[in-house]
């Protein structure tokens, strides 16, 4: 179980893993080609390992050097003998090699894991049959395993039902240059995920094949094979979706690449969708940059047929958008690594999402969000997407996070690299309930808690103990510079001495307010507060006077608590264990302190422009905590 650390705005540049789709296509083509090919920037992950090992099983010699793969091409005839290959969970490996295995001499059984045995393959097998291959389906209901009896394809005309998976068309195309005659493949509409077919044609042509569309539904491939080639593989656009969506939902800016301008990768289709949701997208050479404004994330209605893999991450983003997002024309998501309509909906609902599903669509709206333990159903895209939900919803935990290795083994390292632990900034004058609320919120979400007033109070105590004149700013600042102050589990440690109890006196309260108006003192203590919130840590609730305005101005969750002066005076008297007739005196002390804290020149007490202002005068404390917690989850 992996606990996801909630994040403030993201920042950074992500070097994407090589495209899975392109890597597996190029591997098949290079394995069939004449000569030795080099695939630069190839993806090294479970799905491409499955392809590499399956090709090795078919007699192909491959070797890795860093991210480069060298492939000794077979010149259009794989090995001999009867072999079995295990494609594990890789759909492209199963489909592409069922077709490519027709150039093997002998029989090839193509099998995979349990999920693979539930994904259809019959349409592909029937089309290969029309082209002269002998392939049997061994599993139930048109599902793997299949047995391919090696015998090259004759070629000619064939019909393919392309409504379930574009991988069937790609599989036929990839082996078609080795058919005895030209292949004319007629696709029955509707054609799902058409950009993936274009991607296949692009890789084929790079290795010298003549292949292309002849009309909207007809593909033509000339016989003639492939020539080896040194081929550069683009970054994976399907992977790019996750850091991009992270910026859209958390705010901040990320760059991802390499994704060259002419890229055909289908999931680049997510970019205009994210723009319509309110993000800003710009191109910088081979990189794409996205800046998010999560507070104004808007719901969208989109036909996702051309970019199906992006649906899972968009559905998660929809939790944080204003309104109901509808993603349509996605029926084939039911037969991916998981049922990416129903399984996705179940997990979104655990987080409080309001989700409706249909045969070929899904709609999502945020509602009252709450943390949950997410089961990604061993589906890498669910795991990657729900990690993004955890960046926004504190307390999300992910079962079986390692399933991301299917396409992005370093995914969580990437995420750590671009995220910053969430800081919840709670400001306000004394007696409004800041500490109680901050502690409760931190406890509820497992965040750290820093009461910055303790640092000013510790400084004031040291000044009083040293007998310094509070007017002597030089001397006071010099003394505070020389102190070591830390706060550990709510205990204030001054020069190694635990002083928490000594800080609550009225003398210290008054002195701390005066000490805190000295610019050099603030500089020193603000630096200390920023260090306290460990950039590698798990996030924190930080309370004070200037947290949202000065110390952590990028915090996406800023709260300003206020209350009527008489209410605050009563609370203070109660907290300090004083008597009722102390109320007027405490009230006037609070008023004087407010006046000084909010009129001082540096970092005066005031709400940040984007702060949620809550008047706690007439609210029980639990209600304030609930209000702040709800705001944290919505952030808008």
Q: Which residues are catalytic?
A: 309
What is the 3-class SS of 410-479, one letter each residue? Answer: CHHHHHHHHCCECEEEEECCCCCCHHHHHHHHHHHHCCEEEECHHHHHHHHHHHHHCCCCCCCHHHHHHH
Would you say 257 or 544 has its CB closer to ligand DC?
544
Q: Does 589 bind ligand DC (CB under 6 A)?
A: no
Quote the least distance from Cβ 591 to ligand DC, whole Å. Answer: 12
Burial of 261 (0-12, 13-18, 19+ CB in 10 A): exposed
**Which window, 4-12, 137-145, 259-267, 542-550, contacts ligand DC (CB under 6 A)?**
542-550
Would you say 98 or 603 has its CB closer to ligand DC?
603
Task: Using alpha carbons, select from 67, 63, 42 the residue that is nearest to residue 53.
Answer: 63
Q: Tell me the C-alpha distance between 224 and 182, whole Å.
A: 9
Burial of 80 (0-12, 13-18, 19+ CB in 10 A): exposed
Whole-number Cα distances in Å, 495 to 70, 235, 453, 479, 487: 62, 52, 17, 12, 11
**Which window, 236-244, 346-354, 471-479, 541-549, contacts ligand DC (CB under 6 A)?**
541-549
Judge whether 297 and 322 are in contact, CB under 8 Å: yes
Quote the least distance from Cβ 491 to ligand DC, whole Å. Answer: 14
Number of C-beta neighbours around residue 526 at 10 A: 20
Near ligand DC by CB under 6 A: residue from 452, 549, 555, 616: 452
Number of C-beta neighbours around residue 209 at 10 A: 25
**Which window, 377-385, 449-457, 571-579, 609-617, contacts ligand DC (CB under 6 A)?**
449-457
Would you say 121 or 547 has its CB closer to ligand DC?
547
Alpha helices in 446-563 (DSSP H): 453-465, 473-482, 506-515, 519-532
Near ligand DC by CB under 6 A: residue from 512, 549, 555, 616: 512
Quote the least distance from Cβ 570 to ligand DC, whole Å. Answer: 16
Quote the least distance from Cβ 557 to ligand DC, whole Å. Answer: 16
The backbone torsions φ and ψ at residue 512, rounded to the nearest 5 degrees and listed phi first, read: -65, -40
Q: Does 544 bind ligand DC (CB under 6 A)?
A: yes
Could you say which residues in the range 185-224 bind ligand DC, by CB under 6 A? none
Quote the least distance from Cβ 554 to ligand DC, whole Å. Answer: 16
Alpha helices in 278-362 (DSSP H): 311-318, 342-350
Q: Does 516 bind ligand DC (CB under 6 A)?
A: yes
Near ligand DC by CB under 6 A: residue from 597, 614, 628, 635: 597
Would you say 205 or 520 has its CB closer to ligand DC?
520
> Which strands form 287-292's sheet, in the order they lie side by side?
10-15, 252-257, 287-292, 280-284
Q: Does 144 bind ligand DC (CB under 6 A)?
A: no
Quote the least distance from Cβ 617 to ligand DC, whole Å. Answer: 18
The backbone torsions φ and ψ at residue 633, rounded to the nearest 5 degrees and listed phi first, read: -75, -35
Quote the least distance from Cβ 525 to ligand DC, whole Å. Answer: 8
Near ligand DC by CB under 6 A: residue from 112, 177, 453, 556: 453
Token code pair at residue 337: 């690594």
Quote the least distance from Cβ 599 to ligand DC, whole Å. Answer: 12
**Which window, 316-324, 411-419, 540-548, 616-624, contacts ligand DC (CB under 6 A)?**
540-548
Task: Using alpha carbons, select from 473, 428, 482 the residue that is nearest to residue 617.
Answer: 428
Judge whether 200 and 235 are in contact, CB under 8 Å: no
Q: Tell me the C-alpha distance between 361 and 272, whole Å.
A: 19
Q: Does 513 bind ligand DC (CB under 6 A)?
A: yes
**Which window, 107-115, 263-271, 340-348, 512-520, contacts ligand DC (CB under 6 A)?**
512-520
Q: Does 558 bind ligand DC (CB under 6 A)?
A: no
Task: Using alpha carbons, select from 498, 502, 474 the residue that is nearest to residue 488.
Answer: 498
Q: Tell me the C-alpha distance between 540 and 531, whole Å.
A: 12
Near ligand DC by CB under 6 A: residue from 375, 546, 589, 634: 546
Would you say 235 or 548 has its CB closer to ligand DC?
548
Question: What single DSSP character describes residue 300?
Answer: -
Would you say 452 or 616 has its CB closer to ligand DC?
452
State the DSSP string of 184-223.
EEEEESSPSSHHHHHHHHHHHHHTT--EEESSSSEEEE-S
Site string for ligand DC, 386-405 (x = CB under 6 A): --------------------
Would you say 292 or 453 has its CB closer to ligand DC?
453
Q: Tell me the C-alpha distance between 240 and 328, whole Å.
A: 21
Token code pair at residue 561: 């608590």
Quote the least distance from Cβ 465 to ligand DC, whole Å. Answer: 17
Token code pair at residue 367: 């509602």
**Which window, 103-111, 352-360, 451-459, 613-621, contacts ligand DC (CB under 6 A)?**
451-459
Would you say 104 or 593 has its CB closer to ligand DC?
593
Site string for ligand DC, 402-431 (x = CB under 6 A): ----------------------------x-
Site string for ligand DC, 455-494 (x = CB under 6 A): -xx-------------------------------------
Task: Using alpha carbons, select from 191, 181, 127, 123 the residue that is nearest to residue 159.
Answer: 127
State the DSSP string of 34-89.
BSEEEEET---SHHHHHHHHHHHHTT-EEEEETTEEEEE--TT---BS-EEEE-TT
Could you say which residues in the range 330-359 bind ligand DC, by CB under 6 A? none
Site string for ligand DC, 291-330 (x = CB under 6 A): ----------------------------------------
Q: Tell me the C-alpha distance between 202 and 193, whole Å.
A: 15
Q: Does 25 bind ligand DC (CB under 6 A)?
A: no
Q: Does 593 bind ligand DC (CB under 6 A)?
A: yes
Quote the least distance from Cβ 348 to ligand DC, whole Å. Answer: 38
How many residues at the interface with ligand DC, by CB under 6 A?
A: 14
Quote the least distance from Cβ 526 to ligand DC, whole Å. Answer: 8
**Which window, 194-202, 213-221, 488-496, 508-516, contacts ligand DC (CB under 6 A)?**
508-516
Return the SS3 of 367. coil
Q: Tell me the C-alpha distance between 527 and 179, whole Å.
A: 70
Q: Does 568 bind ligand DC (CB under 6 A)?
A: no
Binding site for ligand DC (CB under 6 A): 430, 452-453, 456-457, 512-513, 516, 544-547, 593, 597
């Amino acid at each position: 179980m992996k606990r996801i650390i909630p994040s403030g705005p993201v920042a950074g540049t992500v070097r994407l893993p090589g495209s899975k789709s392109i890597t597996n296509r190029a591997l098949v083509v290079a394995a069939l080609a004449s000569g030795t090919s080099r695939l630069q920037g190839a993806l090294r992950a479970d799905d491409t390992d499955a392809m590499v090992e399956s090709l090795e099983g078919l007699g192909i010699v491959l070797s890795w050097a860093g991210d480069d793969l060298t492939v000794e091409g077979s010149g259009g005839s794989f090995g001999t003998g009867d072999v079995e290959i295990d494609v594990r969970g890789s759909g492209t490996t199963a489909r592409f090699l069922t077709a490519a295995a027709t150039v093997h001499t002998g029989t090839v059984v193509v099998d995979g894991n349990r999920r693979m045995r539930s994904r259809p393959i019959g349409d592909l097998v029937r089309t290969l049959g029309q082209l002269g291959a002998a392939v049997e389906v061994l599993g139930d209901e048109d599902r793997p395993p299949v047995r391919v009896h090696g015998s090259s394809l004759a070629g000619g005309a064939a019909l393919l039902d392309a409504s379930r998976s574009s991988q069937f068309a790609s599989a036929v195309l990839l082996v078609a240059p080795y058919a005895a005659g030209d292949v004319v493949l007629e696709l029955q509409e509707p054609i799902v995920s058409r950009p993936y077919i274009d991607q296949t044609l692009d890789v084929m042509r790079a290795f010298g094949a003549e292949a292309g569309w002849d009309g909207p539904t007809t593909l033509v491939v000339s016989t003639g094979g492939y020539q080896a080639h040194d081929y550069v593989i683009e970054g994976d656009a399907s992977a790019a979706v996750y850091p991009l969506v992270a910026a859209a939902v958390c705010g901040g800016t990320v760059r991802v690449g390499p994704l060259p301008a002419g890229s055909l990768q289908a999931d680049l289709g997510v970019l205009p969708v994210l723009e319509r949701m309110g993000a800003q997208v710009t191109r910088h050479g081979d990189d794409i940059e996205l800046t998010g404004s999560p507070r104004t994330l808007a719901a969208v209605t989109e036909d996702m047929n051309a970019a199906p893999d992006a649906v899972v991450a968009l559905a998660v983003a929809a939790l944080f958008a204003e309104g109901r997002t509808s993603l349509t024309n996605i029926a084939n998501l039911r037969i991916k690594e998981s049922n990416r309509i129903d399984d996705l909906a179940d997990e979104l609902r655990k987080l409080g999402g309001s989700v409706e599903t249909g045969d070929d669509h899904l709609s999502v709206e945020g509602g009252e969000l709450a943390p949950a333990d997410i089961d990604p159903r061993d589906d890498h895209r669910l795991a990657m997407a729900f990690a993004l939900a955890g960046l926004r919803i504190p307390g999300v935990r992910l079962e079986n996070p390692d399933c991301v290795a299917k396409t992005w083994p370093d995914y969580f390292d990437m995420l750590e690299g671009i995220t910053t632990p969430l800081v919840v900034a709670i400001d306000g004058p004394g007696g409004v309930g800041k500490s109680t609320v901050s502690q409760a919120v931190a406890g509820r979400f497992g965040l750290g808690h820093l009461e910055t007033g303790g640092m000013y109070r510790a400084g004031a105590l040291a000044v009083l103990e040293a007998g310094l004149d509070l007017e002597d700013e030089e001397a006071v600042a010099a003394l505070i510079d020389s102190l070591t102050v830390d706060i550990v589990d709510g205990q204030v440690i001054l020069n190694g001495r635990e002083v928490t109890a000594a800080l609550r006196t009225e003398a210290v309260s008054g002195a701390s307010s005066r000490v805190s108006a000295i610019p050099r003192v603030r500089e020193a203590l603000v630096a200390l507060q920023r260090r306290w919130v460990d950039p590698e840590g798990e996030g924190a609730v930080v309370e004070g006077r200037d947290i949202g305005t000065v110390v952590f101005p990028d915090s996406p969750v800023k709260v300003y608590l206020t209350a009527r002066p008489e209410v605050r005076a009563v609370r203070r008297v109660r907290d300090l264990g004083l008597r009722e007739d102390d109320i007027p005196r405490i009230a006037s002390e609070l008023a004087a302190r407010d006046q000084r804290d909010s009129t001082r020149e540096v970092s005066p007490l005031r709400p940040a422009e984007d702060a949620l202002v809550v008047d706690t005068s007439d609210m029980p404390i639990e209600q304030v905590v609930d209000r702040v917690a709800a705001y944290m989850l919505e952030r808008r």
